[in-house]
Amino acid sequence: MQLLVNVDHIATLRNARGEGYPDPAEAAKVCEEAGASGIVFHLRKDRRHIQTEDVYKLKDSIKGTLDFEMAATDEMLTICMDVDPHLVTLVPESREELTTEGGLKMQTVFDDFQQRVFPKIRATDIKISLFIDPNKEDIELAHELGSDAIELHTGTYANAITEEARKRELQRLKEAANLAHNLGMNVNAGHGLNLQNLGPLVETVPHLHDISIGHALVSTALYYGLDSTVKKFLAIMGNTKLYN
Ligand code: PXP
């Protein structure tokens, strides 16, 4: 299991004043030195946080896994292929949302991904992950497309208010992880994870490979510093980069 830190909100803070700091690439280095296995960023069409220049700086400075999260538009595919990250995580994106609101609806995107998106990425060495909700149908369609990985959307688990709802969501995530693993795909997870809800997730859900954490990690770092905060998250994950 490995921690990939999402640095989008380092850019949000930078953009609030239009100065050159804090710099997502500098922050990324601190995260890697603290033990993170890599970095994630989401280059959005509206460029509300990460800018195109940030992507190239991250590519130059990151030693570990670079995960390019994006909507599967032609513009993003062109940038992604030029940047050549290790992994591309395809997500839905709508202009009004504050953050990604749910997984890809696989039935809706299937034909377009099969005909336009996958052939382009498959011409490169970039691995593909699809951000989906933890349900059987979407996982089976991701497999049918030949995806290397899925990223399970943990937002519904993270937002669950009652203990009963939390348990139900963990169970759904567990079944989804088992199914995706049995179909031969890597199982990643992310969205809404924090120091409180990460422990039950990693204890319950098997086969987790990349865990992508951004907003809560960057927010916690305001109190404790980035280095200590990364170490706090890693301690919950067992402080080991790969153990399954
Ligand atoms: N994974 C995906 C696909 C996302 O869209 C996001 C948010 O950009 C994350 C993980 C990280 O979520 P959070 O910022 O809530 O940790």
What domains lie within the chain, and their CATH numbers? Answer: 2-238 (3.20.20.70)
Q: Is 100 in the pocket of ligand 1 (CB under 6 A)?
A: yes
Q: How confident is the model at residue 241 (pLDDT cuts 50, 70, 90)?
A: very low
> Residue 104 has which token pair?
């890809």
- If you search the block for the tokens 């069409």, which residue do you land on? 45
Return d(Cα 210, Cα 221) in angstroms, integer: 20
What are φ and ψ of residue 3, in 5° steps? -95, 125
Distance from C-alpha of 214 to C-alpha of 98, rounded to nearest angstrom:
14
8 A C-beta contact, residue 127 and residue 143: no
Which member of 9, 49, 143, 191 is catalytic? 191
Q: Nearest residue CA, atom 3 of ligand 1?
A: 131
**Chain center to CA of 175:** 20
User: Whole-angstrom Cα distance, residue 214 to residue 155?
Assistant: 13
Which residue in 86, 78, 82, 75 sits closest to 39, CA to CA? 86
Question: 99 pLDDT band (50/70/90 cuts)?
Answer: confident
The pLDDT tens digits for 114-163 are: 999 999 999 999 999 999 999 999 999 999 999 999 999 999 999 999 99
Cα(81)–Cα(50) distance, integer angstroms? 17
| 229 C-beta closer than 6 A to ligand 1 | no
For residue 90, the CA-to-ligand 1 centroid distance in Å is 12
Residue with tokens 């809560």: 216
Comparing CA positions, the residue from 165, 171, 168, 223 lying closest to residue 194 is: 223
Catalytic site residue 153?
A: no
Closest-CA residue, ligand 1 atom 15, reads: 192
Residue 69 falls in the annotated catalytic set: yes
The pLDDT of residue 101: 74
Q: Say if ligand 1 is within 6 A of residue 42 CB.
A: yes
Q: Which of 88, 92, 91, 90 is nearest to 127 (CA)?
A: 88
- Residue 97 pLDDT: 73
Mean pLDDT calculated for residue range 41-55:
97
Please report which confidence band the pLDDT of residue 239 belongs to, taking 50, 70 and 90 as the band edges.
low
Whether this prediction's pTM lies above 0.75 is answered by yes
Contact 213, 5 (CB under 8 A): yes
What average pLDDT does range 42-60 have in this prediction?
97
